[in-house]
Amino acid sequence: MMPPVRAAVGPRAGPRATRSRQAARGVVTCILALVMYAGTAGATSASTRAELAKAKKSLLVLSDMPKSWTASASSGGNTPTPNPAQLARCLGVPLSVVNDNPPTVSSRTFNSKQDLQTVNDEIEVFPTAKAAQADLAVAANHKAPQCFTTDFNSPAAKSQLASSFGSGAAVGTLDVTRTPVSDYGAHTVNITIYFPVTTNGEVINLEFAEVGFVKGNEEQLLILSSVQSPFPVSLSRHLTALAVARL
C-alpha cells in the first residue's frame, strides 16, 4: 500500500471558475471510465434484468445529498481498461477478473452547488457471491495502488483522460493510493486518485475515490470526486452508511 498523497491545492474559484467547473465535469466523465475498469459487457438474462431493477431501488438519490445539490444524467460507465493483461500480471490475478464487466445500474450524477464535488453510485450484479468478492478483492489487493498508478499513467490511459480537454491542456501524474477506511465505513475498500490538470492557464487539482463493498452477489461502488480540496469526510461517511443500509 502506498502512503497517503494529498493533492496540492491550486487557485480557488475566481474569474475562470466557470471554465474550471466545465473542465472538471469533463474529467469526471473520463476518470470514471478509467476507474470503472472492465471488459466488454455481455448480454443479460431475464432473471438478471429483474435483479438489476431491484438493485436500482438501492441507489442513492438526490434527496440523500445536501440541500442545493443538483442531479444530471450519469456521466460514468464501464469501459475496457487500457492495459488489462499488464494490470492482471501486476495484481497477480487472472485476466478474466480484470476483464469482468457484470450488468450494472447507475444513479444520476449528483453535483454540489458549484460543481466542486460530485457523487456517482453504481451496483454491479454478479452471477455468484464468490465472483462479487473476487472483483472487490482486486481493489483490496495490497499491490493495487502501485499497479493502478502504473496503469493509469500509461500513454493509452493518459490519452483517454486528455481527450476530455481542449488543445493545450496538460494532465499531470496520477497518484493512486488509499484514504482511511474510517472516511467511509467498515467493510469498505477504496482506491483514491489524485492528479492535477492545467487548462486555460489554471491548475485544477482533483481527488477521486472509488468506495466499494459487497453484499451477496452485488457490489456497490460509490465514486466521490472533489475539486481543489478533499471530499468532506462527514458527507462520505453519511453517503456510505446510507448505501450500505440499502444494499
3-state secondary structure of 177: strand
What is the rounded average pLDDT of the residues 144-153? 92
The answer to whether 206 touches 225, Cβ cutoff 8 Å, is: yes
Report yes or no on 102 lying in a domain.
yes
Q: Mean pLDDT highest for which of 8-22, 64-78, 229-243?
A: 229-243
Report yes or no on 12 lying in a domain.
no
Rounded distance, CA 95 to CA 89, Å? 8
| Res 151 pLDDT > 70 | yes
Q: Output the pLDDT for position 214.
A: 96
Report yes or no on 220 lying in a domain.
yes
What does the pLDDT look like over 173-209, one tens digit per residue? 999 999 999 999 999 999 999 988 887 788 888 899 9
Report yes or no on 214 lying in a domain.
yes
Report yes or no on 107 lying in a domain.
yes
What is the rounded average pLDDT of the residues 130-149? 92
Summary mean pLDDT of the chain: 81
Q: E strands of 153-243, at which residues?
A: 170-171, 175-177, 189-199, 202-215, 218-227
Question: Pick from 119, 47, 117: which is nearest to 76 by CA?
Answer: 119
- Grade residue 154 by pLDDT with cuts at 50, 70 and 90: confident
Residue range(s) defining the domain that contains residue 215? 17-246
| Res 36 pLDDT > 80 | no
Q: How many domains does the chain have?
A: 1
Report yes or no on 2 lying in a domain.
no
Which cell goes with 187? 467493510
Q: Output the pLDDT for position 9.
A: 32
Rounded distance, CA 123 to CA 140, Å? 18
What is the rounded average pLDDT of the residues 119-148? 93
Q: Is 194 exposed, middle or buried (0-12, 13-18, 19+ CB in 10 A)?
A: buried
Rounded distance, CA 13 to CA 18, Å? 8
The answer to whether 202 touches 13, Cβ cutoff 8 Å, is: no
What does the pLDDT look like over 86-105, one tens digit per residue? 889 999 999 888 888 889 99
Q: Is 64 exposed, middle or buried (0-12, 13-18, 19+ CB in 10 A)?
A: middle
pTM value is 0.82
Bigger pLDDT: 245 or 76? Answer: 245
Report yes or no on 10 lying in a domain.
no
| Res 11 pLDDT > 90 | no
Q: Output the pLDDT for position 211.
A: 96
- Residue environment code for 119-145, b if the CB has 16+ CB neighbours within 10 A, otherwise e: bbbbbbbbeeeebbebbbebbebeebb
Report yes or no on 5 lying in a domain.
no
Q: Could you give the percent of the chain with pLDDT greater than 70?
A: 78
Which cell goes with 88? 492482471
Helices (H), 129-232: 129-140, 144-152, 155-162
The answer to whether 99 touches 39, Cβ cutoff 8 Å, is: yes
What is the rounded average pLDDT of the residues 137-164? 86
